[in-house]
Amino acid sequence: MADQVVDGVALVAHWPDTCAGGKTATVTALDVRSGDALVALNRRTGRHAWTVPRKPASRARIGAAGDRLVLVTRQAGSATVTSVDTADGTVRWERPVPVDGPVEDVEIAAVDPLLLAARGAGRRGGNHVLHLDEDEDGRTVAEISEADGTPLLPYDSWCLPDHRRQVMWSGDTLIAFLASPGYDHVGRLAGFSLSTGWHLRTWDEGWGIGAPARHRGRVLALRHHEEVSEGTHAGWRCHAYVLDPADGREVARRRLRVTADEPHTIHLHDGRILWIDKKSGRGTPPVKAYDWR
């Protein structure tokens, strides 16, 4: 689902959960007030404005914010990040992704601020979030890779299929998931300073926390879990936590009425939580909305 809601309309991309499902992807525009579908589009066309030449690459990622566009390409153990002016396609600067050793993978976590989630190969490799200064030719402001010896969660982890929600920020605070050794769930969020890279705090609910979203300078995250009483299933529970990234306080907590359906991502708009399911089918709607009181 797109991060921005414009005039009450949000864009949701969806496709069948099959091997070739992505080839039949559809974008649906939803009225977030009523949930009615407005229109479905398979592709978008437009006139040719400008072209930025680039070398062949095995993988490319693109992101945009304001008047800038960021292009990241990877080829044979190296990666390049390029900043482009969206008005005329002028290349502002271009430089290698600053990873110590071969680059195994890199994603664009955000464009403003410019955050890259990179993974190196070999013994010197690891999971990094790189904060680059867009106004100073992409110099590295901070490199974040761990909190008190615990590494950041790998960007290709099956626990978090939505890469946009694996790393987020609020003000000068970066929020990222930490690995949970010995467990198959994600239960820890850590805060870091974007200007220095220092670890500030860790939120550890203890039983798994996921599907975070940024809202009005704060972070909202869910804990969706099965409740068991005397060894038998007693129901499904979900709590929504509002955290202040500046000082780590829990500002608010709400209980949501849920089923076994797991959240893929959540989005907030006009006092509502939009819950995007990991899977949908008969009896399982792809999108649910909750009023936040």
The string of DSSP codes covering 21-81 is GGGG-EEEEEETTT--EEEEES---------------SEEEEEEETTEEEEEEEETTEEEE
Single pTM value for the model: 0.73
Asked if residue 132 and residue 82 are part of one domain, the reply reads: yes
pLDDT of residue 39: 46
Asked if residue 68 and residue 38 are part of one domain, the reply reads: no
Asked if residue 33 and residue 10 are part of one domain, the reply reads: yes
Asked if residue 71 and residue 24 are part of one domain, the reply reads: no
C-alpha distances in angstroms, 32 versus 38, 189, 212?
11, 28, 19
Last residue of a domain, one of 144, 167, 182: 144
Asked if residue 83 and residue 27 are part of one domain, the reply reads: no
Q: What is the mean pLDDT of each run of 10 residues along the chain (293 residues)?
A: 71 74 71 60 52 71 81 86 84 88 85 88 75 90 86 62 65 82 66 92 70 80 81 84 85 87 80 82 82 77
Asked if residue 63 and residue 36 are part of one domain, the reply reads: no
Residue 260 falls within a domain, yes or no? no
Residue 98 falls within a domain, yes or no? yes
* Token reading at 255: 């209980």
Total domains, the chain: 2
Residue 123 falls within a domain, yes or no? yes
pLDDT of residue 224: 81
Q: How many CB atoms lie within 10 A of CB 253?
A: 11
Query: Which residues span the domain enclosing 122?
Result: 56-144
CATH of the domain at 76: 2.40.10.480
Q: Per the omega criterion (within 30 degrees of 0), is the bond before 113 cis? A: yes
Residue 152 falls within a domain, yes or no? no
Residue 92 falls within a domain, yes or no? yes
Residue 239 falls within a domain, yes or no? no
Chain centre distance of CA 141: 21
Asked if residue 31 and residue 64 are part of one domain, the reply reads: no
Q: Which amino acid is at 291?
A: D
C-alpha distances in angstroms, 287 versus 82, 95, 101, 262?
35, 40, 42, 11
pLDDT of residue 46: 46
Asked if residue 61 and residue 32 are part of one domain, the reply reads: no
Q: Which amino acid is at 275?
A: W
* Token reading at 229: 């009483």
Asked if residue 114 and residue 77 are part of one domain, the reply reads: yes
Residue 175 falls within a domain, yes or no? no
Last residue of a domain, one of 144, 166, 198: 144
Asked if residue 64 and residue 29 are part of one domain, the reply reads: no
Asked if residue 33 and residue 69 are part of one domain, the reply reads: no
Asked if residue 19 and residue 81 are part of one domain, the reply reads: no
pLDDT of residue 160: 53
Residue 233 falls within a domain, yes or no? no
Last residue of a domain, one of 110, 144, 178: 144
Q: Where are the alpha helices (DSSP H) in the chain?
A: none
